Structure 1
Amino acid sequence: MATTTFKSLTDTTFDSVEGYRQAGEKANNPQLKQALQQRGIQREATLRQMNAELERQGDELVTKGTLTGEAHQMWQSITSAFESDDEAAAERVEEGEDYIKGKFEKALNGDQLEAQERAIVQQCYNEICEGERFGDMISKQYD
């Protein structure tokens, strides 16, 4: 059975995949739309890696959003921001990426993960950091 911390990180990762999918659909600027879709694909790969660890532990895979979680609500605000404009949405993406990066850092700095989970989270953290840099970049670009 996976630790609560690992399961929570996987839930947040799923929510961000879904957020990128919805944001990509709603973006107006073609370059932004493509960039969001590309980041979503990279985040999906991270989710697959985390789900593989859940499967290894005999746990249920994360295949749907948390609906009540902070991350889900944050990504909902990101996608609704696209209804107004790309600039607002870019700022929300940056906030979402800051949130998930912080959550991964907290898990890595804590002692709630078992050794194999920690190894997976450490590997996934690189992609999470890329996402955070992406959020910063588009936020500046659309500011």
Structure 2
Amino acid sequence: MSQNIETLKTLTQITYDSVEGYRTAAEKSGSSAMKKAFEQRANMRSQTLAKLNNGLLMHKEKPIASVSLSGSVHQTFLKITEAVSNGDKAVIDRVDEGEEFIAENFRRVLNDDEVKDMDLSIRTLIQDTYGEISKGERFANMLEAQFA
């Protein structure tokens, strides 16, 4: 069970970092349409984060409530601030990198043979939340196609 909880914590932390990344992207975007789109994604991702945190609470663990300063998603999204001076394409590229990272982490967990026998409630939660995560990945791909 400990491995299950650690896996859930890791995915929850990555999800928290991505919420903050979308908020940063919204703040830094020069386009009102992109700002609105990033705000909507932040809200959707916040709902996913709430579900994951509820899963932690159900297993008597503390919810994730702060950014992981060493987290790869957070670091990728921090590059958004730097990217703003390079225009919206650079911001979109950073969002795409973050979405690829988070989606790959969820896929890896769901496809890992060792994880397939994890606690059913945790596995179901991860499968359910992966739906929104994959929408985020499609969102980033759509942005690249539309604005890049």
Q: TM-score range by the shorter chain?
A: over 0.9
How far apart are the structure 2 equivalents of 1:83 and 1:47? Answer: 30
Q: What letter corresponds to residue 136 of structure 1 in structure 2?
A: N
Match of 2:143 among 127, 138, 141: 138
How far apart are the structure 2 equivalents of 1:105 and 1:50? Answer: 16
If the length of structure 1 is used for normalisation, what is the TM-score? 0.94
**Does residue 93 of structure 1 match 2:95?**
yes
Could you list the runs of 5+ residues in structure 2 that have no partner in the other structure?
none
How far apart are the structure 2 equivalents of 1:78 and 1:102? Answer: 20
Partner of 1:122: 127
Q: Which one is further off, 73-82 or 32-41?
A: 73-82
Contact persistence 1:54–1:61 (CA under 8 A): yes
Structure 1, residues 50-82: CA drift from partner, whole Å, max 9, x if none?
000000111011000110122221121134312
**Does residue 78 of structure 1 match 2:80?**
yes
User: Secondary structure of 1:59's partner?
Assistant: coil
User: Secondary structure of 1:68's partner?
Assistant: coil
Q: How many residues align?
A: 143
Specify whether residues 59 and 34 from structure 1 end up closer, same or farther in structure 2 by C-alpha distance, changes over 3 A only: same
Contact persistence 1:26–1:83 (CA under 8 A): no
Taking only the aligned residue pairs, the percentage that are identical comes to 37
For the aligned residues, what is the CA RMSD? 1.3
Cα displacement (A) at 1:120: 0.5
How far apart are the structure 1 equivalents of 2:32 and 2:90? Answer: 16
Q: What letter corresponds to residue 86 of structure 2 in structure 1?
A: S
How far apart are the structure 2 equivalents of 1:114 and 1:9? Answer: 15
Partner of 1:103: 105
Cα displacement (A) at 1:43: 0.1
User: Secondary structure of 1:3's partner?
Assistant: helix
If the length of structure 2 is used for normalisation, what is the TM-score? 0.91
User: Secondary structure of 2:7's partner?
Assistant: helix
Q: What letter corresponds to residue 14 of structure 1 in structure 2?
A: Y
Contact persistence 2:5–2:56 (CA under 8 A): no
How far apart are the structure 2 equivalents of 1:130 and 1:82? Answer: 24
